[in-house]
Structure 1
Amino acid sequence: MDASLHSILAAAARAGFDFRFLLDAYERDPFLHGIVVSIEIIVATMAGSAIAGLALLVAVRGRRVWLANAARAFIELTRSTPTLVQLYCGFLVVNMLITQWLQMHHVDNPFKPFFWIVLVLSLHQGAFHAEALRAGFDALPAQTIEGAMSLGLDRRSRFWRIELPLALRTALPTLVNNAVELVKASALASAIAVGDITYQSIMIWTQRDNVLALMVLILLFYGALTWLVSRAGRWLERRLWVPGYGA
């Protein structure tokens, strides 16, 4: 098996695809760990963006004008600026200010780069989730809301039991698309030295000059993840479809 693997990797190297780093535990183990870190970032940001999106939606649709205006301003700012710039502002500016303040009290900064990539991506994608859900709420038939009111349901009960479940189904295709974008955006973690698959690949190809081979692996990795997210989204659309609400 080892001889066959060496032969295959040698043949691939002659064709321009140098995967021989997989034979070296010093390089292979960090690469495999980078795959795990990338998956952890994606899972954490999907959960975080869902929470952020719902919180922003509640704020925008709430009765407190100042809170709704603040949430709307945050959404517009987030949607109008690049994700990478937001990440740098969070990690290089806000994190530095926190570090300086904690140093004055002789305390180490507990917020590591992993925290900042998850936080920034969660808030960024949460803004898009909130807009998708808002569109879902706007698409609800007036008769449905009137029927819920006639049953004596208060505003909170209507939101959680009637409006949100139906709006979620309407917005689901857009939410799935947002999730796909989130998977791709997770590669930005390498910009602040989080040891994801992209960062570990950069460390390897600076030593071996095998950019092509590693780029192929990165593309296959993200392609497989986005395909899985897309397929899961299609399954949810069929599973949660309500007769009378779209084809």
Structure 2
Amino acid sequence: MNLDFAQLVPSIPYILYGIWVTLQFVAVSLVLGFLWGTVLSLFKIGKVTILRWFADAYTSVFRGTPLILQMLIIYYAVPQLTGMDIGAFTAGVLTFALNSAAYISEIIRAGINAVDKGQKEAAIALGVPYRSMMLKIILPQAMKNILPALMNEFITLTKESAIVSVIGALDIMRRAQIVGASNYRFFEPLLLAGLIYYLLVMLLTLAGRVMERRLAKSD
């Protein structure tokens, strides 16, 4: 086997810096996706028909088309239509946030529906306004139930974030590709990138299990 990891050593810090870029990208995408997903979930359970249709159609489109297609449309097609340049990092964040919101909206909707109906009936009987009831009574209980599912979404985003390398974002994968191209040796840097992603996912999985145990104890 023609392997030489010694040539990879000088490039390891360069590839490792991609961890910060990847986590930054994933964290921003998740926060934006969570906020927009929350709005969509409220649309879905609301009484305004047009908003329900919009939220359902939005979820259908983003769940029914490839993520990489959505990213390429935002990075290449939107600037063609608007004349505005969109950076690789920004395009990646927008794509993942919009895509993740579709999945998160379903998670939150399921969490809200899982809350005991008696909570809502009691709030209505006490004259609590709908907005206050959702923000202070229903959503907090729903969030506690869906935290493990949101953690899984975070893990999925971390793995899928590798596709931003297609548009040149300097994440872990892109840096590994650059190192491979400069040395004409791809196996070693790609193997290191795979190991980094695996370790990140394992750490997030352990964090998710710890969170689940703490939630179970608090019940």
Q: What is the TM-score of this pair, normalised by structure 1? A: 0.80
Match of 1:118 among 93, 105, 113: 93
Match of 1:85 among 55, 69, 74: 69
Match of 2:151 among 173, 176, 190: 176
The answer for the alignment partner of 1:219 in structure 2 is 194
Kept after mapping to 2: 8 A contact 1:54/1:130: yes
Match of 2:173 among 181, 193, 198: 198
Query: How far did residue 29 of structure 1 move?
Result: 5.4
For 1:51 and 1:142, the matched residues in 2 are separated by 24
The answer for the alignment partner of 2:54 in structure 1 is 70
The one-letter amino acid paired with 1:185 is: E
Structure 1 residues 229 and 52: alpha-carbon distance in aligned structure 2, compared to 1, 3 A threshold:
farther
Kept after mapping to 2: 8 A contact 1:132/1:174: yes
Structure 1 residues 158 and 83: alpha-carbon distance in aligned structure 2, compared to 1, 3 A threshold:
same
The answer for the alignment partner of 2:124 in structure 1 is 149
The one-letter amino acid paired with 2:3 is: G
For 2:79 and 2:204, the matched residues in 1 are separated by 31
Query: How far did residue 186 of structure 1 move?
Result: 0.8
Q: What is the TM-score of this pair, normalised by structure 2? A: 0.89
Structure 1 residues 151 and 240: alpha-carbon distance in aligned structure 2, compared to 1, 3 A threshold:
farther
DSSP 3-state at the match of 2:93: helix
Give the structure with higher Rg (CA): 1
Moved more, 167-176 or 66-75: 167-176
Equivalent residues in 2 for 1:25-44 (5 A)? Answer: 27-28=11-12, 30-44=14-28
RMSD (Å) for aligned C-alpha atoms: 2.1
The one-letter amino acid paired with 1:43 is: A
Write the deviation string for residues 150-184 of structure 1: whole angstroms up to 9, x where unpaired: 33222111111111111122222222211111111
Kept after mapping to 2: 8 A contact 1:169/1:237: no
For 1:22 and 1:95, the matched residues in 2 are separated by 39
Q: Percent identity?
A: 28
Kept after mapping to 2: 8 A contact 1:140/1:166: yes
The answer for the alignment partner of 2:9 in structure 1 is 22
Kept after mapping to 2: 8 A contact 1:136/1:171: yes
The answer for the alignment partner of 1:11 in structure 2 is none
For 1:17 and 1:52, the matched residues in 2 are separated by 47
For 1:121 and 1:48, the matched residues in 2 are separated by 9
For 1:119 and 1:93, the matched residues in 2 are separated by 14
Structure 1 residues 19 and 184: alpha-carbon distance in aligned structure 2, compared to 1, 3 A threshold:
farther
The answer for the alignment partner of 2:212 in structure 1 is 237
Structure 2: segments with no counterpart, 5+ residues? none
Kept after mapping to 1: 8 A contact 2:74/2:91: yes
Structure 1 residues 151 and 227: alpha-carbon distance in aligned structure 2, compared to 1, 3 A threshold:
farther
For 1:62 and 1:226, the matched residues in 2 are separated by 36
Kept after mapping to 2: 8 A contact 1:17/1:212: no
For 2:153 and 2:176, the matched residues in 1 are separated by 26
Kept after mapping to 2: 8 A contact 1:31/1:200: yes
